[in-house]
């Protein structure tokens, strides 16, 4: 299947969900390395322990990626931020509003953020099935190229996963490949599909090709995953 563009708000909703899945997967891998599944009470405790920095961490990952998603001239953005005196002390809310570019998209991001927090308060991360059941109404007819969308979901999840491990402050600091693969498969399903994907086997390459829909998207995904991994390690 060949698609060239994806609705901007769909990309953003997948990114927000991807951030929460990746960050708390990083926390889980670092704090509970022997567990393959966490109980509801553990997710709630992880959320409480992270709550003070939750918004700050979220914006630290999403800000540069949203800027590249929403602005075409990065040099102009850099100059504009300088004029506005943006710094490390700039509140997260202001940074997120700027990166979103429009008030409508900012409110959309905020709503999706709150949705993921509520899921954690209920003791779990949002499943792919729930994502599609509760998929928000798309904003306008505003699309972005598929390669940029893939780059964005990969970068959000890789950086959020690494941040979750770092913030856990344990002796574990390695990136677990099985977790990365799970995150990327889930992220691509929410990005490119309209319903959950049923995999016919356990061949990893075939699974990635299935979620990618076509060879161009598969190549984009593999290249972005490799580059993001190299940048982190």
Per-residue model confidence as pLDDT tens digits over 116-168: 999 999 999 999 999 999 887 777 678 999 999 999 999 999 999 999 999 99
Q: Alpha-carbon distance 218 to 233, whole Å?
A: 23
pLDDT value of position 3: 86
Residue 233 exposed, middle or buried by CB count within 10 Å (0-12, 13-18, 19+): exposed
Q: Judging by DSSP bridges, how do beta strands 5-7 and 143-145 pair with one another?
A: antiparallel
Give how far the C-alpha of residue 137 lies from the chain's centroid of Cα atoms, to the nearest Å: 19
DSSP result, 89-147: TS-HHHHHHHHH-SHHHHHHHHHHHHHHHHHHHTTSPPPHHHHHHTPPPP-TT-EEEHH
Contact between 5 and 81 (Cβ < 8 Å): no
Contact between 53 and 167 (Cβ < 8 Å): yes
pLDDT value of position 74: 93
Q: Alpha-carbon distance 166 to 65, whole Å?
A: 20
| In the predicted structure, residue 1 carries a pLDDT above the cut 90 | no
Q: Alpha-carbon distance 44 to 24, whole Å?
A: 11
Report the percent of the chain where pLDDT is more than 90.
Answer: 89
Q: What is the mean pLDDT of residues 26-37?
A: 92
pLDDT-derived band at 216, boundaries 50, 70, 90: very high
| In the predicted structure, residue 209 carries a pLDDT above the cut 80 | yes
Residue bearing tokens 């999403």: 62
pTM summary value:
0.95
Average pLDDT, the chain: 95
DSSP state of 38: -
Per-residue model confidence as pLDDT tens digits over 35-61: 888 999 999 999 999 999 999 999 999
Q: How many CB atoms lie within 10 A of CB 207?
A: 18
pLDDT value of position 159: 98
Q: If DSSP codes are grouped into helix, strand and coil, which group holds residue 6?
A: strand
pLDDT value of position 201: 86
pLDDT value of position 200: 85
Per-residue model confidence as pLDDT tens digits over 8-22: 999 999 999 999 999
- Which stretch of DSSP H or E encloses residue 15? helix 8-31
User: Where exactly are the structural domains of the chain?
Assistant: 5-232
Q: How many CB atoms lie within 10 A of CB 101?
A: 16
- Which stretch of DSSP H or E encloses residue 7? strand 5-7
Select from 184, 183, 163, 149 the least CA-distant residue to 68. Answer: 149
Q: Alpha-carbon distance 49 to 52, whole Å?
A: 8
Q: What is the mean pLDDT of residues 189-194?
A: 96
Higher pLDDT, 230 or 135: 230
| In the predicted structure, residue 111 carries a pLDDT above the cut 90 | yes
pLDDT value of position 150: 98
Rounded to a whole number of angstroms, the CA Rg of the chain reads: 17
Q: What is the mean pLDDT of residues 89-95?
A: 96
Q: What is the mean pLDDT of residues 183-202?
A: 95
């Amino acid at each position: 299947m060949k698609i060239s563009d994806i609705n901007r708000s769909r990309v953003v909703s997948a990114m927000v969900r991807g951030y929460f899945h990746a960050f708390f997967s990083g926390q889980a891998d670092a704090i509970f390395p022997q567990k393959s599944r966490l109980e509801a009470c553990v997710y709630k405790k992880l959320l409480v322990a992270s709550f003070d920095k939750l918004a700050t961490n979220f914006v630290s990952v999403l800000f540069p990626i949203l800027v590249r998603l929403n602005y075409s001239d990065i040099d102009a953005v850099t100059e504009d931020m300088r004029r506005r005196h943006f710094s490390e002390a700039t509140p997260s809310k202001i940074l997120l509003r700027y990166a979103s570019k429009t008030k409508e998209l900012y409110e959309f991001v905020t709503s999706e953020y709150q949705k993921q927090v509520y899921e954690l308060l209920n003791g779990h991360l949002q499943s792919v099935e729930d994502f599609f059941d509760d998929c928000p109404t798309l904003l306008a007819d505003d699309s972005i190229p598929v390669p940029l969308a893939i780059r964005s979901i990969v970068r959000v999840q890789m950086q959020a996963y690494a941040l979750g491990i770092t913030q856990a402050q344990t002796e574990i600091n390695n990136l677990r490949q099985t977790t990365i693969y799970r995150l990327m498969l889930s992220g691509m399903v929410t990005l490119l599909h309209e319903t959950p994907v049923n995999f016919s086997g356990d061949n990893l390459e075939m699974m990635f090709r299935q979620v990618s829909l076509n060879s161009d998207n598969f190549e984009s995904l593999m290249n972005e995953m490799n580059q993001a991994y190299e940048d982190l390690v």
